[in-house]
Amino acid sequence: MEHDVSDPVRTRHGLITGAGGQLGHALAEVFPEARPLTRVEWDVTFPPPEGLDADLVLHAAAWTNVDGAEDDPQSAAAVNVGGTLHAASLGVPLVTWSTDYVFDGAKRTPYVESDAPSPLGAYGRTKLHAEAAAGDLAWIVRSSWLFGPTSHNFVRTMLRLGAEREEVAVVDDQRGSPTYVGHLAEATKEIMRLPYGVYHVAAGGECTWADFAEAIFEDAGLATRVRRITAAEFGARAPRPAYSVLRSEKSAPELPHWREGLRACLARLDILP
């Protein structure tokens, strides 16, 4: 379906759902005119509050606890699928974010938009259903391994563990592209100039979680060692793809390398040595 491409970025009544999350924070910086709504202001498992006026929804609210979704898939679906249906029910253009975890990780070359999804776990399944729930007026942006200066994420966890321990055990048999939310939020403006549809938008480069942890410690000036372990040794409840690098076969914006994103994040946290 066509949309008005004259200037979708200059919206007057944009909304950000999930504004308390890491992407929600970054979106609020990039779209200062949009109204940020936290879960308290709109719990997206319920229909939109009465009288909510919007000409664009930046739908960043989601159940993102991958292991928790295995234990309670219905609650995860209520937020991810039900929440996206409610956001789409406003009947205005919607940007929604999806995940590399819609893929099973069997490939060893980057996943492109036309690759068939086949999620391994409950979280990925709810996100795939959420893509379908987004409707026809939606840009569906699949990204991966998000991190930023706020909220829960791998960078903040490693910085905490690195300050407490001499060695941290980190999974070394899953590869992806850690993506800085500031870069992803910036790219949203460009995505909104493209036709509605699914786009892969993740940082340049790829690494394992162990490589990522080493880079975090190095750039933060911490002497913490990384002990490389397998996902089986780590024993997370949810299965995760062994390989989930995303690239676009469409004209989606390309993001800076993940290492550049890491430095931007550490600079925001004021801890770049």
- Per CB under 6 A, 145 contacts ligand NAP: yes
* Total of residues contacting ligand NAP (CB under 6 A): 26
- Can you name the residues that pair with 111 across neighbouring β-strands? 246
Cβ neighbours around 169 below 10 Å, total: 16
Residues 104-133 that bind ligand NAP (CB under 6 A): 127
Question: Which residue among the candidates 101, 111, 123, 180 is catalytic per the annotation?
Answer: 123
Q: Tokens in use for 188? A: 């949203």
Among 34, 56, 60, 133, binds ligand NAP (CB under 6 A): 60
Is 81 among the residues that bind ligand NAP (CB under 6 A)? no
CB hemisphere CA count around 76 (13 angstroms): 19
Q: Which two tokens stand for residue 60?
A: 């960043």
The one-letter amino acid at 87: A
DSSP 40-68: TT--TTSPPPTT---SEEEE------HHH
Please, which residue, 212 or 217, has the CB nearer to ligand NAP?
Answer: 212
Binds ligand NAP by CB under 6 A, chosen from 13, 43, 189, 231? 43
Q: Which stretch binds ligand NAP (CB under 6 A): 4-12, 21-29, 86-94, 111-119?
A: 21-29
Of 15, 28, 57, 64, the residue at the interface with ligand NAP (CB under 6 A) is: 64
Check: CB of residue 245 under 8 Å from CB of residue 176.
yes
Query: Residue 123 catalytic?
Result: yes
What are the catalytic residues? 123
